[in-house]
Structure 1
Amino acid sequence: MENLNEKHKELIIRMLSGEASEVEISKLNQWLQASEQNRKYLEEYKSLWNLKLKSPDDIIINSEHAWKKVSTEIEQLEDVKPAYRTRTLFNNFFYVVSGIAAVLLIFLGLYILLPRTMETEMITHEVQSRTEEPLRLADGTTVLFKGPAKLLYPENFGKNNRHVRLKGDAYFEVANQNENPFIIELQEVNVTVLGTSFYISQSMETNSVEVSVLSGKVELKSLAEPMKSMVLSKNERGLFHTENQDFTKEKITDLNFMAWKTGRLEFDQTNLQTVIESLKETYQIQIHARDNLSDLKLTARFINEKPEDIFKTISILFDVEVLYRDGAYVIERQD
């Protein structure tokens, strides 16, 4: 039986680390075939080698000191009877595992606590009116605000964390990162996406959150009742009711709700009362109808038009008059 000399130790370590050449592996195999004891040596080294653990952030815990200590003890025990040597190796193995486990728990604790600490270090971006230029986040995601809104976001996202908080209405184009979902925290509901574009509208009056998906796929999940969730795909709109924590879904039949961003309004036999609501929402203006105008149907397309020009078209097409009084437009039928 050959003794475990420095040459064999080096071959074992190079093999375990994946650095051994074919010639070295061949020499090691010849040595292993020489005796059962040599194969036991290899198994002992394999067990110790597996103690090279990693923390959650791929920080390698250095066990070189423990490795050298165990290696030295193996040499010292070569001439000791097998039963005692096995028991001593087991005890040494136990102590090494305990020490490394303690270090690993420290790293794991830091890993769990660190994201929560980072979440408190958020940048606050607040706007009082509609924005023309989008806000660009560190990952390439862009955000366009429809009106008064507040967005809290970190200066840089973590490897496994893209988390922001939104109050108000905004349009998102989320940069695609398959392994790193983008999470938007709203009032009592989270919106989780990978890479998509969608519009979020929050209403304090109706205690609801509305998410309209223009591309990709998103998931809405209740914060109070995490088991309640809903997945939305392209051209679907989801409504979350905060009072009863319920979800409803519907198909998007027109894109006029995005006219504030696209500048495009399209109507196809749409009653004038509905047209007025779209104009109010798009231009954030006050419009009062003195008469019931739902019997009047409008078919038209407006691209980047001013509201005054749209009202002129309506006046020409229908027997109505549009006046501007006290900061609001007034529409009434002509006698």
Structure 2
Amino acid sequence: MDNEEIKLLLVKYITREADESEIDRIRDWVNAHPENEQYFAQLYETWQNMLYLNPEAINREKAFNNFSAVTLPPPSKYRQLVKWSKVAAVIALFGVLSVLLIKHYTQNIESVRQVSVNKGATKKMVLADGTLVWLNAGSKLNYNTDFGKKNRTVYLEGEAFFEIASGKKPIPFIVNTKNYTIRDIGTKFNLKAYPNDPFFETTVVKGEVSVEGNVNSSAREMSRIYVKPRQVLRIYYQQQNEKYTYKTDDLQGLKNLNEIQVLQVDSAKMDKYDGWKQNLLVFDGNTLEEIAKVLERRYNVKIIMDDAGLQNIKYSGSFRSVASVNKVLDLIKGNTDIDYTITDNTITITKSNN
């Protein structure tokens, strides 16, 4: 590929507009040379960070300068890798790319709509194409005002359940999160991508989705995983060379970065993953640390545990339409060795003295 072709394809890929064949061509280019991998990673990471800025607080000049600083590293970094002439050519290429990406960003930032849900609440909404979306507590959904016309792409931070509008659509439905892209090939799926959780999770109720990992920090590879009905894909974010679980050949390229779990779930237990939209809490062997995060979002409280051992206590149980967090904690307390106190909006969990 010549430089003009690379520029176009990289911008299309990073801005989520590339088709399957273009993605394959970019994958080949990224894997061809170490400097390609490094530059692609910098471009992608900077673009992703820009997407999660508050649109009302954008400083375009500062954003451009920051982007250029990242994508145009000092030549001394590459003296031992390539000749000066090659360095200059590559830097020139990505200088143009930075301009193209900033242009793409500034053209779209004014048209971004954001729907936010506070902790302690949920929200149901209908997108322009007829897709139903339930947003869980503490979540944000961004999309452009031309959604349904030129694109069907949304950006999620938090948790949401999607019921894609029926009928064949010429434009694919895509959900972007900070680390992964989800392409709908079906109709109903739950997606969990809270920024302070140590994992990404998607659960398919009906149909099928593909999950694309854009950058593997150890190999800079782009990979795709297909998740089928009643399957749960959970990816724990880990550092390179840490332990991982390798479940299927489809996970090649992500396996060195994360612990990956693919679970087949009985239809009767799906409410563990999507019951929240019916105001249902389901815990099935969850640790108290995991439960605390759910309760903090659901009831808009802060939970503190005075003993690290408490975090690993496991609990199973379900709650429907429980209005107060202390009722949930009372039930947990009845089956585990814990006690708790509430001061204003802060809950302190301690070991029981009984």
Give the TM-score of the pair, scaled to structure 1.
0.52
Q: Residue type of the partner of 2:154? A: V
Out of 131, 134, 139, the position equivalent to 1:144 is 134
Is 1:303 paired with 2:302? no
CA distance change for structure 1 residues 269 and 168 in 2, over 3 Å: closer, same or farther?
closer
- In 2, Cα distance between the equivalents of 1:142 and 1:226? 33
Paired position in structure 2 for 1:217: 208
- In 2, Cα distance between the equivalents of 1:296 and 1:166? 31
Q: Residue type of the partner of 1:250? A: V
- In 2, Cα distance between the equivalents of 1:317 and 1:232? 35
Is 1:285 paired with 2:301? yes
Greater Cα shift, 244-253 or 258-267: 244-253
CA distance change for structure 1 residues 153 and 249 in 2, over 3 Å: closer, same or farther?
farther
Which residues of 2 match residues 95-110 of structure 1 at below 5 A?
none
Is 1:251 paired with 2:228? no
Q: Residue type of the partner of 2:113? A: T
Q: Residue type of the partner of 2:263? A: K
Paired position in structure 2 for 1:14: none
Q: Residue type of the partner of 1:311? A: L
- In 2, Cα distance between the equivalents of 1:322 and 1:207? 25
Residue 205 of structure 2 aligns to a residue in which SS?
strand
- In 1, Cα distance between the equivalents of 2:198 and 2:281? 28
Q: Residue type of the partner of 1:232? A: V
Query: How far did residue 243 of structure 1 move?
Result: 8.1
Query: How far did residue 219 of structure 1 move?
Result: 0.8
Paired position in structure 1 for 2:167: 177
CA distance change for structure 1 residues 243 and 285 in 2, over 3 Å: closer, same or farther?
same
Query: How far did residue 216 of structure 1 move?
Result: 1.7
Paired position in structure 2 for 1:313: 331
**8 Å CA contact retained: 1:222, 1:229:** yes
Paired position in structure 2 for 1:25: none
- Identity, % of aligned positions: 21
Out of 164, 172, 189, the position equivalent to 1:198 is 189
User: Which ranges in structure 2 are unaligned for 5 or more consecutive residues?
Assistant: 1-103, 241-252
Q: Residue type of the partner of 1:127? A: S
Paired position in structure 2 for 1:235: 230
CA distance change for structure 1 residues 152 and 232 in 2, over 3 Å: closer, same or farther?
same
**8 Å CA contact retained: 2:157, 2:195:** no
- In 2, Cα distance between the equivalents of 1:271 and 1:230? 27
CA distance change for structure 1 residues 156 and 256 in 2, over 3 Å: closer, same or farther?
closer
Query: How far did residue 140 of structure 1 move?
Result: 0.8
Q: Residue type of the partner of 2:254? A: D
Q: Provide, for residues 241-272 of structure 1, a one-character-per-residue CA deviation record: whole Å limited to 9, x for no partner.
A: 59877263421655435454222234467665
Give the TM-score of the pair, scaled to structure 2.
0.49
Q: Provide, for residues 298-334 of structure 1, a one-character-per-residue CA deviation record: whole Å limited to 9, x for no partner.
A: 5543111131212223344456432102532123312
Query: How far did residue 177 of structure 1 move?
Result: 3.3
**8 Å CA contact retained: 1:154, 1:164:** no
Residue 129 of structure 2 aligns to a residue in which SS?
coil
Greater Cα shift, 136-145 or 256-265: 256-265
Greater Cα shift, 136-145 or 325-334: 325-334
Structural RMSD (CA): 3.9
Could you say which structure has the greater relative contact order, defined with CA pairs below 8 angstroms and 6 or more residues apart?
A: 2
**8 Å CA contact retained: 2:204, 2:228:** yes
Q: Residue type of the partner of 1:174? A: I
- In 2, Cα distance between the equivalents of 1:274 and 1:188? 21
- In 2, Cα distance between the equivalents of 1:205 and 1:295? 18
Q: Residue type of the partner of 2:173? A: F
- In 1, Cα distance between the equivalents of 2:126 and 2:211? 23
CA distance change for structure 1 residues 258 and 289 in 2, over 3 Å: closer, same or farther?
farther
CA distance change for structure 1 residues 188 and 299 in 2, over 3 Å: closer, same or farther?
closer
- In 2, Cα distance between the equivalents of 1:199 and 1:303? 19
**8 Å CA contact retained: 2:286, 2:316:** yes
Q: How many residues align?
A: 218
- In 1, Cα distance between the equivalents of 2:188 and 2:293? 24
Q: Provide, for residues 262-292 of structure 1, a one-character-per-residue CA deviation record: whole Å limited to 9, x for no partner.
A: 2223446766565545534543532233454
User: Which ranges in structure 1 are unaligned for 5 or more consecutive residues?
Assistant: 1-115
- In 2, Cα distance between the equivalents of 1:243 and 1:296? 25
**8 Å CA contact retained: 1:270, 1:299:** yes
